[in-house]
Amino acid sequence: MQRTRFGDMACSIARTLDVIGESWSPLILRNVLVGIGRFDQLQQSLGISRKVLTERLKWLVDNDVLERRRYSERPPRYEYALTAKGTELCDLLMVMVRWGDRWTAGEAGPPVLYRHHACGEIGHVELHCSVCDRPMDVTGIDILPGPGAAVTA
């Protein structure tokens, strides 16, 4: 099946989906974030085919989300680590976690808890305005064209 390309659209959501929109990619990032970075570990943990994992890892490396680091010379073996770009994408995953915990966790509750280093408390991600630091969600914003908006003739 041919993958739909969104990278040329004048839309930050579409461009982000172009990098991580395939369903395995966020799960690969999640695993690398928690320290599962070797190919065999990823394959076993996710139950993903070796072919698909190879393709996804190559895509994420080519897009500077992950980097390969050699951990064995003989035989040559690599593990995958988040780049700065990949670490910032994990912030997006934290927003997904918040939504999933609220709407899909069920009575058992969230499968994972997150302790904030700064305060030591269990918490969740909240969106705040970068200017005034007040809570920010779609009910309190206007969506305006930006400098990179597509120009129509």
Per-residue DSSP letter, 151: P
Whether residue 152 has pLDDT greater than 80: no
CB atoms within 10 A of CB 46: 17
Per-residue DSSP letter, 104: T
* Bridge partners (DSSP) listed for residue 77: 72
Q: What integer is the mean pLDDT of 15-35?
A: 94
Q: In a 3-state reduction of DSSP, which class is residue 135?
A: strand
Q: 67-82 in b/e burial notation, b at 16+ Cβ within 10 A? A: eeeeeeeeeeebbbeb
Rg (CA), the chain: 18
Alpha-carbon span 150 to 153, nearest angstrom: 10
Q: Which pLDDT belongs to residue 153?
A: 46
Of the pLDDT bands very low, low, confident and very high (cuts 50, 70, 90), residue 1 is very low
